[in-house]
Structure 1
Amino acid sequence: MRAFILAAAALALIGAQPAAAQSRLGPLKLRGADQAKDDPKAAAKVDLLRYVPKPVGGWKSDGLFDDAGVFDRSRKVYQEYSRLGGKEGGVSVTLTRGALGGSALFGAMSKPRLGPDPEEAGRVTSEVDVSGAKGYLTYEAGNRSGRIEVRFGDCTVIVEGYEVASSELLAFARAMDAAQLTKL
């Protein structure tokens, strides 16, 4: 009896249904974003580049990292920005969708250690609101560098920067179209 209960619990954790329940339900039809996750042709129709933010005030785009179109832009895009006038500083925005987005990885990181980092002096991790979603900002004031990670539905956004203020990182993260990314 114990083995049966453990097996049922394991199936429930991974989202599998007993065979009897599957036969009663029949095949499920996927629509919209759910279909795009499982159908490579539908996923290929979504170009993530259009969801990458425009440069915020005082910044310019350095162009798409993948100029040659080598990577599948329906799964991942990487954009870099630099300050206007040649000043020091840079920001990169990585937008990843689906399994590459690290949904399992992000789940493991969903409770990072907030506050000062005992291993790195000056590094502080805090929870921030990014367009209604919970994000994590890790920032080192000493060398003015940081990183924000946030999930919008099936998409993971990572904003990294050097020689920047934490408010500038937040501005780039908040420039993402959260409503549209959540629908993907």
Structure 2
Amino acid sequence: MAHRHSQALRRAKTTVLIVGEGDTEKAFLDHLRTHYVTRGCGVSVTTRNAHGKGPENIVDVAIRHAKGADYSIVAVLMDTDLPWTPALRKLAQTKKICLIGASPCCDGLLLGILGDSVPGGSDHCKAKLLQRLGKKPVVKEAYANDFTKALLDVRRDAIKPLDKILTLMAGARPESD
């Protein structure tokens, strides 16, 4: 009897898949997960790396990963420096994939979270972020000193993509644009 009772008390788990465009997105998502997804919170977040190759590939990777599992919510975090076509947006909507844009790239998003000015162009953003962090942002440990939970909590109101990611990590679907 006790066994049945303990099963009844388990909360249904919300499962979230977030596919990042590349190494930086994956590392940042993993860093956020350490702060916002705790054991027993009722949410399981899986992050994957699409290894770039444009918006269509990133959405395709999300579709392929979601096909093999029953995720409650699927999202992608990708740069906006390459255009998102109407067909891509329609496919994402059909597959219920939440699109989160990092402008002009993930490095620019990260600079914005830190309150720094965001240069135009991905290469300038990458160079400025590398200088700011003092290390390549491709492992989650690169974010430990600068991207504290306190900073992230404060900046989420001002940085819409960050708020969307944190909403996903809480097990809810963010409002669409």
| TM-score, normalised with respect to structure 1 | 0.26
- In our comparison, the structure showing a higher alpha carbon Rg is 1
Q: Quick check: which one's helix share is greater?
A: 2
Q: Quick check: which one's strand share is greater?
A: 1
| TM-score, normalised with respect to structure 2 | 0.26
